[in-house]
A = this chain, B = another copy of it.
Amino acid sequence: MTTFGPLFVPRELLDVVSGRAWLEAMLEFESALARAEAQVGIVPSEAVAAISERCDPGLYDFDDLLERGRAVGSPPEPLVRALREKVGGDAAGYVHWGATSQDVMDTASMLVARGALDLVLVELEGVTASLARLAEAHRSTPMAARTMLQQALPTTFGLKAAGWLVAVLESRGILGAVRERLAVQFGGAAGTLAAVGEHGPAILRLLAEDLGLAEPVLPWHTNRVRIAELGAALATTSGVLAKIALDVVLLAQTEVDEAREEIGGGSSTLPHKHNPIESTLARACARLVDGYASVLATGLEQEHERAAGAWHAEWEALSGALAYTGGAAHAVGQAVGSLQVDGERMQRNLGATDGLVLAERVSFALATRYGRAESHDIVREAASRVAASGRSLADELREDERVGLSDSELDALLDPATYLGSAEAFVDRALDLYHSEGT
Protein backbone atom coordinates (compact mmCIF):
# COMPACT_ATOMS: atom_id res chain seq x y z
CA MET A 1 0.00 0.00 0.00
CA THR A 2 1.21 3.44 -0.81
CA THR A 3 0.79 6.55 1.31
CA PHE A 4 -1.93 8.14 -0.79
CA GLY A 5 -3.09 4.94 -2.48
CA PRO A 6 -6.54 4.77 -0.90
CA LEU A 7 -7.41 8.17 -2.35
CA PHE A 8 -6.72 7.04 -5.90
CA VAL A 9 -7.04 3.29 -6.10
CA PRO A 10 -9.92 0.99 -5.19
CA ARG A 11 -9.17 -1.05 -2.09
CA GLU A 12 -9.49 -4.32 -3.97
CA LEU A 13 -6.73 -3.29 -6.34
CA LEU A 14 -4.48 -2.10 -3.57
CA ASP A 15 -4.95 -5.47 -1.98
CA VAL A 16 -3.79 -7.48 -4.99
CA VAL A 17 -0.47 -5.62 -5.10
CA SER A 18 -0.01 -5.45 -1.34
CA GLY A 19 2.71 -7.14 0.67
CA ARG A 20 0.22 -9.80 1.60
CA ALA A 21 -0.44 -10.51 -2.08
CA TRP A 22 3.28 -10.75 -2.83
CA LEU A 23 3.70 -13.08 0.13
CA GLU A 24 0.90 -15.30 -1.08
CA ALA A 25 2.39 -15.40 -4.57
CA MET A 26 5.83 -16.32 -3.25
CA LEU A 27 4.35 -19.18 -1.28
CA GLU A 28 2.34 -20.27 -4.30
CA PHE A 29 5.64 -20.65 -6.12
CA GLU A 30 7.16 -22.72 -3.31
CA SER A 31 4.28 -25.13 -3.14
CA ALA A 32 4.02 -25.46 -6.91
CA LEU A 33 7.75 -26.14 -7.01
CA ALA A 34 7.43 -28.96 -4.52
CA ARG A 35 4.62 -30.49 -6.56
CA ALA A 36 6.55 -30.20 -9.82
CA GLU A 37 9.69 -31.66 -8.32
CA ALA A 38 7.71 -34.49 -6.84
CA GLN A 39 6.44 -35.33 -10.30
CA VAL A 40 9.97 -35.72 -11.64
CA GLY A 41 10.98 -37.67 -8.56
CA ILE A 42 13.22 -35.19 -6.77
CA VAL A 43 10.95 -34.43 -3.85
CA PRO A 44 9.30 -37.31 -1.99
CA SER A 45 5.54 -37.10 -2.23
CA GLU A 46 5.14 -37.04 1.56
CA ALA A 47 7.19 -33.84 1.66
CA VAL A 48 4.86 -32.12 -0.77
CA ALA A 49 1.95 -32.10 1.60
CA ALA A 50 4.11 -30.93 4.50
CA ILE A 51 5.43 -28.06 2.42
CA SER A 52 2.14 -27.04 0.81
CA GLU A 53 0.42 -26.92 4.15
CA ARG A 54 2.91 -24.36 5.44
CA CYS A 55 2.61 -22.24 2.31
CA ASP A 56 -0.11 -20.30 4.03
CA PRO A 57 0.43 -16.54 3.98
CA GLY A 58 -1.35 -16.21 7.29
CA LEU A 59 1.68 -17.80 8.95
CA TYR A 60 4.14 -15.05 7.95
CA ASP A 61 4.53 -11.33 8.30
CA PHE A 62 5.60 -9.50 5.17
CA ASP A 63 7.06 -6.41 6.79
CA ASP A 64 9.08 -8.58 9.09
CA LEU A 65 10.41 -10.54 6.11
CA LEU A 66 11.38 -7.27 4.43
CA GLU A 67 13.33 -6.14 7.43
CA ARG A 68 15.07 -9.45 7.80
CA GLY A 69 15.56 -9.60 4.03
CA ARG A 70 17.64 -6.44 4.00
CA ALA A 71 20.82 -8.32 4.87
CA VAL A 72 20.46 -10.40 1.72
CA GLY A 73 18.70 -7.84 -0.39
CA SER A 74 15.38 -9.58 -0.97
CA PRO A 75 12.56 -11.18 0.99
CA PRO A 76 12.61 -14.80 -0.28
CA GLU A 77 15.64 -15.88 1.69
CA PRO A 78 14.12 -15.21 5.14
CA LEU A 79 10.80 -16.54 3.87
CA VAL A 80 12.39 -19.80 2.79
CA ARG A 81 14.17 -20.01 6.10
CA ALA A 82 10.92 -19.47 7.99
CA LEU A 83 9.10 -21.95 5.77
CA ARG A 84 11.76 -24.60 6.39
CA GLU A 85 11.48 -24.08 10.12
CA LYS A 86 7.74 -24.48 10.05
CA VAL A 87 7.89 -27.56 7.80
CA GLY A 88 10.56 -29.19 9.90
CA GLY A 89 11.78 -32.76 9.68
CA ASP A 90 13.09 -34.31 6.49
CA ALA A 91 10.65 -32.40 4.36
CA ALA A 92 12.34 -29.15 5.34
CA GLY A 93 15.31 -30.08 3.24
CA TYR A 94 13.17 -30.19 0.13
CA VAL A 95 11.79 -26.71 0.45
CA HIS A 96 12.88 -24.39 -2.41
CA TRP A 97 15.01 -27.19 -3.88
CA GLY A 98 17.20 -25.95 -6.71
CA ALA A 99 15.56 -22.55 -6.83
CA THR A 100 17.04 -19.13 -6.24
CA SER A 101 15.52 -16.04 -4.66
CA GLN A 102 14.95 -14.46 -8.03
CA ASP A 103 12.92 -17.46 -9.16
CA VAL A 104 10.58 -16.80 -6.27
CA MET A 105 10.37 -13.03 -6.70
CA ASP A 106 9.99 -13.07 -10.46
CA THR A 107 7.33 -15.74 -10.47
CA ALA A 108 5.56 -13.89 -7.67
CA SER A 109 5.71 -10.69 -9.71
CA MET A 110 4.02 -12.48 -12.58
CA LEU A 111 1.29 -13.84 -10.34
CA VAL A 112 0.75 -10.46 -8.75
CA ALA A 113 0.68 -8.82 -12.18
CA ARG A 114 -1.86 -11.32 -13.43
CA GLY A 115 -4.11 -10.73 -10.45
CA ALA A 116 -3.90 -7.00 -10.86
CA LEU A 117 -4.33 -7.09 -14.63
CA ASP A 118 -7.49 -9.08 -14.23
CA LEU A 119 -8.94 -6.34 -12.07
CA VAL A 120 -7.67 -3.66 -14.43
CA LEU A 121 -9.34 -5.46 -17.32
CA VAL A 122 -12.62 -5.55 -15.41
CA GLU A 123 -12.37 -1.81 -14.83
CA LEU A 124 -11.65 -1.32 -18.52
CA GLU A 125 -14.72 -3.35 -19.43
CA GLY A 126 -16.77 -0.89 -17.44
CA VAL A 127 -15.09 1.96 -19.28
CA THR A 128 -15.68 0.49 -22.74
CA ALA A 129 -19.30 -0.34 -21.96
CA SER A 130 -19.94 3.25 -20.91
CA LEU A 131 -18.12 4.60 -23.93
CA ALA A 132 -20.01 2.35 -26.31
CA ARG A 133 -23.25 3.55 -24.75
CA LEU A 134 -22.22 7.18 -25.14
CA ALA A 135 -21.05 6.65 -28.71
CA GLU A 136 -24.32 5.05 -29.64
CA ALA A 137 -26.56 7.51 -27.80
CA HIS A 138 -24.74 10.53 -29.22
CA ARG A 139 -23.93 9.14 -32.64
CA SER A 140 -25.55 12.19 -34.22
CA THR A 141 -25.29 14.81 -31.50
CA PRO A 142 -23.45 17.71 -33.11
CA MET A 143 -20.70 19.45 -31.24
CA ALA A 144 -17.66 21.46 -32.13
CA ALA A 145 -14.50 19.58 -32.95
CA ARG A 146 -11.63 21.49 -31.41
CA THR A 147 -8.10 21.55 -32.76
CA MET A 148 -5.51 23.29 -30.61
CA LEU A 149 -8.53 24.04 -28.45
CA GLN A 150 -10.11 26.23 -31.10
CA GLN A 151 -13.42 25.31 -32.61
CA ALA A 152 -12.67 23.86 -36.02
CA LEU A 153 -15.68 22.16 -37.58
CA PRO A 154 -18.68 20.21 -36.35
CA THR A 155 -18.33 16.63 -35.25
CA THR A 156 -20.57 14.52 -33.06
CA PHE A 157 -20.15 13.66 -29.44
CA GLY A 158 -20.66 10.09 -30.52
CA LEU A 159 -17.53 10.25 -32.63
CA LYS A 160 -15.58 11.75 -29.74
CA ALA A 161 -16.72 8.89 -27.52
CA ALA A 162 -15.95 6.41 -30.31
CA GLY A 163 -12.43 7.80 -30.51
CA TRP A 164 -12.01 7.24 -26.80
CA LEU A 165 -13.47 3.76 -27.16
CA VAL A 166 -11.12 2.66 -29.91
CA ALA A 167 -8.10 3.88 -27.98
CA VAL A 168 -9.18 1.96 -24.88
CA LEU A 169 -9.85 -1.16 -26.95
CA GLU A 170 -6.42 -0.90 -28.52
CA SER A 171 -4.66 -0.49 -25.20
CA ARG A 172 -6.76 -3.27 -23.72
CA GLY A 173 -5.59 -5.47 -26.56
CA ILE A 174 -1.99 -4.69 -25.75
CA LEU A 175 -2.54 -5.41 -22.07
CA GLY A 176 -4.24 -8.66 -22.89
CA ALA A 177 -1.38 -9.79 -25.12
CA VAL A 178 1.15 -8.95 -22.42
CA ARG A 179 -0.92 -10.90 -19.90
CA GLU A 180 -0.55 -13.99 -22.06
CA ARG A 181 3.21 -13.67 -21.96
CA LEU A 182 3.52 -13.55 -18.17
CA ALA A 183 5.89 -16.45 -17.60
CA VAL A 184 7.14 -18.56 -14.77
CA GLN A 185 10.72 -18.01 -13.64
CA PHE A 186 12.92 -20.96 -12.74
CA GLY A 187 16.63 -20.99 -13.39
CA GLY A 188 18.38 -21.65 -10.10
CA ALA A 189 21.37 -19.71 -8.88
CA ALA A 190 23.01 -19.41 -12.28
CA GLY A 191 20.21 -19.93 -14.76
CA THR A 192 21.41 -23.46 -15.55
CA LEU A 193 19.23 -25.39 -13.08
CA ALA A 194 22.31 -27.47 -12.27
CA ALA A 195 20.93 -28.44 -8.88
CA VAL A 196 18.12 -30.44 -10.46
CA GLY A 197 20.31 -32.37 -12.85
CA GLU A 198 18.61 -33.15 -16.13
CA HIS A 199 15.15 -32.29 -14.86
CA GLY A 200 15.31 -28.53 -15.40
CA PRO A 201 13.16 -28.19 -18.50
CA ALA A 202 10.62 -30.69 -17.23
CA ILE A 203 10.17 -28.87 -13.94
CA LEU A 204 9.95 -25.57 -15.78
CA ARG A 205 7.10 -26.89 -17.86
CA LEU A 206 5.28 -28.43 -14.91
CA LEU A 207 5.61 -25.24 -12.92
CA ALA A 208 4.20 -23.20 -15.79
CA GLU A 209 1.24 -25.54 -16.12
CA ASP A 210 0.58 -25.63 -12.41
CA LEU A 211 0.64 -21.86 -12.02
CA GLY A 212 -1.09 -21.13 -15.29
CA LEU A 213 1.79 -19.02 -16.54
CA ALA A 214 3.63 -19.19 -19.84
CA GLU A 215 6.73 -21.37 -20.15
CA PRO A 216 9.69 -19.26 -21.18
CA VAL A 217 12.27 -20.48 -23.68
CA LEU A 218 14.97 -19.76 -21.10
CA PRO A 219 15.14 -18.52 -17.56
CA TRP A 220 14.84 -14.74 -17.92
CA HIS A 221 16.73 -13.48 -14.87
CA THR A 222 18.31 -10.66 -16.80
CA ASN A 223 16.13 -10.66 -19.89
CA ARG A 224 13.51 -8.16 -18.71
CA VAL A 225 11.58 -7.78 -21.96
CA ARG A 226 8.36 -8.95 -20.39
CA ILE A 227 8.74 -6.54 -17.48
CA ALA A 228 9.47 -3.57 -19.72
CA GLU A 229 6.64 -4.59 -22.02
CA LEU A 230 4.25 -4.81 -19.10
CA GLY A 231 5.32 -1.39 -17.85
CA ALA A 232 4.88 0.09 -21.31
CA ALA A 233 1.44 -1.47 -21.73
CA LEU A 234 0.36 -0.03 -18.38
CA ALA A 235 1.71 3.40 -19.29
CA THR A 236 -0.05 3.29 -22.64
CA THR A 237 -3.30 2.25 -21.02
CA SER A 238 -3.17 4.92 -18.38
CA GLY A 239 -2.14 7.48 -20.98
CA VAL A 240 -5.22 6.63 -23.04
CA LEU A 241 -7.33 7.01 -19.93
CA ALA A 242 -5.69 10.36 -19.18
CA LYS A 243 -6.62 11.58 -22.64
CA ILE A 244 -10.27 10.82 -21.96
CA ALA A 245 -10.02 12.47 -18.56
CA LEU A 246 -8.41 15.55 -20.06
CA ASP A 247 -11.22 15.87 -22.59
CA VAL A 248 -13.80 15.57 -19.81
CA VAL A 249 -12.01 18.25 -17.80
CA LEU A 250 -12.02 20.52 -20.85
CA LEU A 251 -15.69 19.85 -21.64
CA ALA A 252 -16.62 20.53 -18.02
CA GLN A 253 -15.05 24.00 -17.97
CA THR A 254 -17.43 26.69 -16.77
CA GLU A 255 -17.36 28.40 -20.15
CA VAL A 256 -17.83 25.21 -22.15
CA ASP A 257 -20.08 23.18 -19.86
CA GLU A 258 -20.94 20.48 -22.38
CA ALA A 259 -20.44 17.54 -20.05
CA ARG A 260 -20.01 16.95 -16.37
CA GLU A 261 -19.34 14.08 -14.02
CA GLU A 262 -22.43 13.48 -11.94
CA ILE A 263 -20.64 12.25 -8.84
CA GLY A 264 -18.62 14.00 -6.22
CA GLY A 265 -16.90 17.18 -7.10
CA GLY A 266 -18.66 19.58 -4.76
CA SER A 267 -16.54 22.26 -3.18
CA SER A 268 -17.21 23.17 0.42
CA THR A 269 -16.16 26.77 0.11
CA LEU A 270 -17.33 27.39 -3.42
CA PRO A 271 -20.86 25.97 -3.61
CA HIS A 272 -21.29 26.50 -7.34
CA LYS A 273 -18.28 24.51 -8.42
CA HIS A 274 -18.64 21.17 -10.02
CA ASN A 275 -15.12 19.85 -10.15
CA PRO A 276 -14.32 16.97 -12.48
CA ILE A 277 -12.77 15.02 -9.61
CA GLU A 278 -12.69 11.55 -11.12
CA SER A 279 -11.03 12.82 -14.27
CA THR A 280 -8.57 14.74 -12.15
CA LEU A 281 -7.70 11.64 -10.16
CA ALA A 282 -7.32 9.64 -13.37
CA ARG A 283 -4.85 12.14 -14.76
CA ALA A 284 -2.88 12.06 -11.53
CA CYS A 285 -2.80 8.26 -11.61
CA ALA A 286 -1.49 8.29 -15.18
CA ARG A 287 1.38 10.58 -14.21
CA LEU A 288 2.39 8.22 -11.43
CA VAL A 289 2.21 5.27 -13.82
CA ASP A 290 4.51 7.11 -16.21
CA GLY A 291 7.01 7.48 -13.39
CA TYR A 292 6.85 3.83 -12.43
CA ALA A 293 6.95 2.64 -16.02
CA SER A 294 10.06 4.71 -16.66
CA VAL A 295 11.78 2.73 -13.89
CA LEU A 296 10.83 -0.49 -15.68
CA ALA A 297 11.75 0.80 -19.15
CA THR A 298 15.21 1.93 -18.12
CA GLY A 299 15.78 -1.25 -16.14
CA LEU A 300 16.47 -3.56 -19.07
CA GLU A 301 20.20 -3.07 -18.78
CA GLN A 302 20.94 -5.68 -16.12
CA GLU A 303 24.34 -7.13 -15.34
CA HIS A 304 25.28 -10.71 -16.29
CA GLU A 305 23.09 -13.33 -14.60
CA ARG A 306 21.60 -11.15 -11.82
CA ALA A 307 21.53 -7.39 -11.62
CA ALA A 308 22.81 -5.39 -8.70
CA GLY A 309 19.97 -2.91 -8.31
CA ALA A 310 17.93 -2.68 -11.50
CA TRP A 311 16.12 -5.87 -10.59
CA HIS A 312 15.39 -4.76 -7.04
CA ALA A 313 13.80 -1.52 -8.21
CA GLU A 314 11.20 -3.40 -10.23
CA TRP A 315 9.11 -4.66 -7.34
CA GLU A 316 7.93 -1.30 -6.10
CA ALA A 317 7.65 0.12 -9.60
CA LEU A 318 5.61 -2.80 -10.84
CA SER A 319 3.26 -2.71 -7.86
CA GLY A 320 2.77 1.01 -8.34
CA ALA A 321 2.26 0.85 -12.10
CA LEU A 322 -0.37 -1.86 -11.73
CA ALA A 323 -2.25 -0.16 -8.91
CA TYR A 324 -2.35 3.29 -10.43
CA THR A 325 -3.34 2.00 -13.86
CA GLY A 326 -6.24 0.39 -12.07
CA GLY A 327 -6.87 3.68 -10.31
CA ALA A 328 -6.97 5.51 -13.61
CA ALA A 329 -9.31 2.93 -15.12
CA HIS A 330 -11.60 3.07 -12.12
CA ALA A 331 -11.72 6.86 -12.10
CA VAL A 332 -12.41 7.13 -15.81
CA GLY A 333 -15.07 4.45 -15.39
CA GLN A 334 -16.72 6.64 -12.77
CA ALA A 335 -16.36 9.74 -14.90
CA VAL A 336 -17.75 8.37 -18.15
CA GLY A 337 -20.25 6.13 -16.40
CA SER A 338 -21.85 9.16 -14.79
CA LEU A 339 -21.24 11.63 -17.58
CA GLN A 340 -24.06 14.09 -18.16
CA VAL A 341 -23.88 15.26 -21.75
CA ASP A 342 -25.58 18.53 -22.61
CA GLY A 343 -26.42 18.34 -26.31
CA GLU A 344 -28.20 21.65 -26.19
CA ARG A 345 -25.17 23.43 -24.87
CA MET A 346 -23.07 21.74 -27.54
CA GLN A 347 -25.42 23.15 -30.13
CA ARG A 348 -25.23 26.61 -28.53
CA ASN A 349 -21.45 26.51 -28.40
CA LEU A 350 -21.39 25.61 -32.07
CA GLY A 351 -22.97 29.02 -32.62
CA ALA A 352 -20.21 30.81 -30.71
CA THR A 353 -18.37 31.74 -33.87
CA ASP A 354 -21.41 33.19 -35.59
CA GLY A 355 -21.22 30.56 -38.26
CA LEU A 356 -17.49 30.62 -38.85
CA VAL A 357 -17.21 27.01 -37.78
CA LEU A 358 -18.89 26.16 -41.06
CA ALA A 359 -16.71 28.44 -43.19
CA GLU A 360 -14.83 25.51 -44.70
CA ARG A 361 -18.08 24.11 -46.01
CA VAL A 362 -19.06 27.37 -47.73
CA SER A 363 -15.61 27.58 -49.19
CA PHE A 364 -15.88 24.07 -50.62
CA ALA A 365 -19.36 24.86 -51.92
CA LEU A 366 -18.18 27.97 -53.77
CA ALA A 367 -15.12 26.16 -55.09
CA THR A 368 -17.12 24.47 -57.81
CA ARG A 369 -17.92 27.90 -59.16
CA TYR A 370 -14.76 29.91 -58.54
CA GLY A 371 -12.02 27.39 -58.01
CA ARG A 372 -10.55 26.69 -54.68
CA ALA A 373 -8.29 29.72 -54.37
CA GLU A 374 -10.87 32.35 -55.12
CA SER A 375 -13.64 30.73 -53.11
CA HIS A 376 -11.23 30.56 -50.21
CA ASP A 377 -10.56 34.29 -50.55
CA ILE A 378 -14.25 35.13 -50.66
CA VAL A 379 -14.91 33.24 -47.47
CA ARG A 380 -11.80 34.52 -45.73
CA GLU A 381 -12.85 38.09 -46.45
CA ALA A 382 -16.33 37.48 -45.08
CA ALA A 383 -14.78 35.80 -42.04
CA SER A 384 -12.61 38.81 -41.29
CA ARG A 385 -15.63 41.08 -41.58
CA VAL A 386 -17.40 38.89 -38.98
CA ALA A 387 -14.67 39.53 -36.48
CA ALA A 388 -14.83 43.27 -37.10
CA SER A 389 -18.59 43.76 -37.40
CA GLY A 390 -19.86 41.32 -34.84
CA ARG A 391 -22.43 40.13 -37.36
CA SER A 392 -22.87 36.53 -38.41
CA LEU A 393 -21.10 34.81 -41.28
CA ALA A 394 -24.47 34.41 -43.01
CA ASP A 395 -24.98 38.18 -42.90
CA GLU A 396 -21.55 38.88 -44.25
CA LEU A 397 -21.87 36.32 -47.03
CA ARG A 398 -25.17 37.83 -48.08
CA GLU A 399 -23.40 41.17 -48.55
CA ASP A 400 -20.99 39.73 -51.08
CA GLU A 401 -22.48 39.58 -54.55
CA ARG A 402 -20.08 36.86 -55.63
CA VAL A 403 -21.63 34.42 -53.16
CA GLY A 404 -25.06 34.48 -54.72
CA LEU A 405 -26.72 31.95 -52.46
CA SER A 406 -30.32 32.16 -51.37
CA ASP A 407 -31.15 32.40 -47.69
CA SER A 408 -32.30 28.83 -47.59
CA GLU A 409 -29.19 27.65 -49.37
CA LEU A 410 -27.10 29.58 -46.88
CA ASP A 411 -29.06 28.22 -43.93
CA ALA A 412 -28.53 24.70 -45.22
CA LEU A 413 -24.82 25.25 -45.66
CA LEU A 414 -24.50 26.73 -42.18
CA ASP A 415 -26.35 23.94 -40.40
CA PRO A 416 -23.76 21.91 -38.47
CA ALA A 417 -26.00 18.87 -38.26
CA THR A 418 -25.67 18.28 -41.98
CA TYR A 419 -21.91 18.71 -42.19
CA LEU A 420 -20.79 15.71 -40.24
CA GLY A 421 -19.11 13.79 -43.04
CA SER A 422 -18.40 10.24 -41.96
CA ALA A 423 -18.83 10.91 -38.26
CA GLU A 424 -21.72 8.51 -37.94
CA ALA A 425 -20.14 5.89 -40.16
CA PHE A 426 -17.02 6.07 -38.02
CA VAL A 427 -19.08 5.62 -34.87
CA ASP A 428 -20.48 2.46 -36.40
CA ARG A 429 -17.01 1.17 -37.22
CA ALA A 430 -15.96 1.72 -33.63
CA LEU A 431 -19.04 -0.02 -32.27
CA ASP A 432 -18.50 -2.91 -34.64
CA LEU A 433 -15.00 -3.28 -33.29
CA TYR A 434 -16.31 -3.13 -29.75
CA HIS A 435 -18.92 -5.78 -30.34
CA SER A 436 -16.60 -8.00 -32.34
CA GLU A 437 -14.11 -8.09 -29.48
CA GLY A 438 -16.78 -9.25 -27.09
CA THR A 439 -17.51 -6.65 -24.46
The answer to whether A255 touches B218 (Cβ under 8 A) is no
Residues of B within 8 A of A60 (CB): none
Q: What CA separation (Å) do A153 and B304 show in the bound complex?
A: 12
- Chain B residues contacting A198 (CB-CB under 8 Å) are 422, 425
- Report whether B255 and A422 are in contact in the complex, using a CB–CB cutoff of 8 Å: no
How many copies altogether?
A: 4
CB proximity of A338 to chain B, nearest CB, Å: 12
- Residues of B close to A212: CB separation below 8 A: none
On whether the beta carbons of A270 and B239 are closer than 8 Å, the reply is no
Knowing A4-B66, A239-B298, A301-B283, the reply to whether A308 touches B255 (Cβ < 8 A) is no
Within 8 Å by CB of A69, from B7, B233, B310, B386, lies B7
* Chain A interface SS verdict (over half): helix
A335 CB, nearest partner CB in chain B, Å: 12
**Which A residues between 356 and 386 are near B, CB-CB below 8 angstroms?**
356-357, 359-361, 363-364, 367, 371-373, 376, 379-380, 383-384, 386
A57 contacts the other chain (CB 8 A): no
Q: How large is the interface on A (under 10, 10 to 19, 20 to 34, 35 or more residues)?
A: 35 or more
* Residues of chain B contacted by A295 (CB below 8 angstroms): 287-288, 290-291
Contacts A7-B66, A223-B166 given: A305-B145 contact, CB under 8 Å? Answer: yes
Also in contact, A275 and B309, with CB within 8 A (given A235-B297, A360-B195): no
Does A240 lie at the interface of the complex (its beta carbon under 8 Å from any beta carbon of B)?
A: yes
Chain A window 248-285, contacts with chain B (Cβ cutoff 8 Å), 1 for yes, 0 for no: 01101111100000011111111111111101111111
Mask, A228-242, CB within 8 Å of B = 1, is 110011011001101
Instruction: List A residues 176-231 near B (Cβ within 8 Å).
Output: 188-198, 200-201, 217-220, 222-226, 228-229
A147-161 interface mask toward B, CB cutoff 8 Å, 1 = contact, 0 = none? 111111111100110
Q: Give 29 pairs: A residue, B residue, CB < 8 Å, sorted on A.
A: A1-B2, A3-B22, A7-B66, A7-B67, A7-B73, A8-B70, A71-B265, A73-B264, A73-B277, A93-B372, A145-B190, A147-B190, A147-B304, A148-B280, A149-B304, A152-B190, A155-B191, A160-B305, A163-B220, A192-B420, A194-B420, A218-B426, A243-B302, A250-B304, A276-B308, A280-B312, A283-B310, A287-B298, A291-B295
